[in-house]
Amino acid sequence: MAYTAPEIDLAAPSGVLPAGSSYLDPADANTYFANTFNAAVWAAIPTGDQTIALAEATKWLEALCWKGEKCDPAQPMAWPRKMDASGCCSEVVCTTLPPAMIQATAELALALYQNKTAIIGGSTNSGAIKTATLGDLSVTYQDAGSGQTSKVSNSAPLVLQKFPWLVDLLSPCLLDVATGGARVLHRSCMTSYAGGRW
């Protein structure tokens, strides 16, 4: 699926998303969802709410650390990017959004629309939950700090903690997500990785 990245207001202050900015507009998301099981669900959302959901998804994806570099250092959003061919991109990309980013933006927008408090609010718990019980129902999350394996640690960005499927989808695009060892990565990201997990 070829996609041309949205025009970016390069006059906007660096690091600040212009109002309503998104990697996708509702028409792009409609094209993505057209051949998915969620086509009717997405189509039932009013266009104004689709726009807001896509902007919210973009905001959370902007918080992640990406391989490559911005096409223009002054552009306010992380994408489009220049990078070598990888599982994320088949070539140096400055005019297109990789399919994984299209999917991540659209699916995250739908998930955030369906659960508006998924990332912030709706809970007073912080970090990973070991056990939560309600009657006969219970949920246990693995404690990444105790030597057990977990895809996403409780020190990962909240969007990855709440939607760990993003790691599978975006790992080829994310900066050093699959490598081991604790270290501080790129200065602009100011992110620490522990044990090869976010």
**Residue 33: inside a domain, yes or no?**
yes
**Residue 153: inside a domain, yes or no?**
no
Q: What is the pLDDT along the chain (198 residues), one digit of tens a residue?
A: 444 444 434 334 333 434 447 899 999 999 999 999 999 999 999 999 999 999 999 999 998 988 888 888 888 888 888 876 666 766 666 777 888 889 999 999 999 999 998 888 654 444 455 666 778 877 665 544 443 345 677 677 888 888 989 988 898 888 854 333 333 333 345 433 333 444
Which DSSP string corresponds to 54-116?
HHHHHHHHHTS-BSSEESSTT-SSS-SEE--S-SS-SS--SSB--HHHHHHHHHHHHHHHH-T
**Residue 59: inside a domain, yes or no?**
yes
**Residue 133: inside a domain, yes or no?**
no
Q: Which domain holds residue 90?
A: 1-123+158-198
CA distances from 98 to 91, 110, 128, 167 (A): 10, 19, 31, 15
Orientation angle between helical segments 47-62 and 99-114, nearest 10 degrees = 120
Say what the pLDDT of residue 27 is. Answer: 92
**Residue 108: inside a domain, yes or no?**
yes
Number of independent structural domains in the chain: 1
**Residue 148: inside a domain, yes or no?**
no
103: exposed, middle or buried (Cβ count in 10 Å: 0-12, 13-18, 19+): middle
**Residue 42: inside a domain, yes or no?**
yes
Strands 81-82 and 192-193: unpaired
**Residue 131: inside a domain, yes or no?**
no
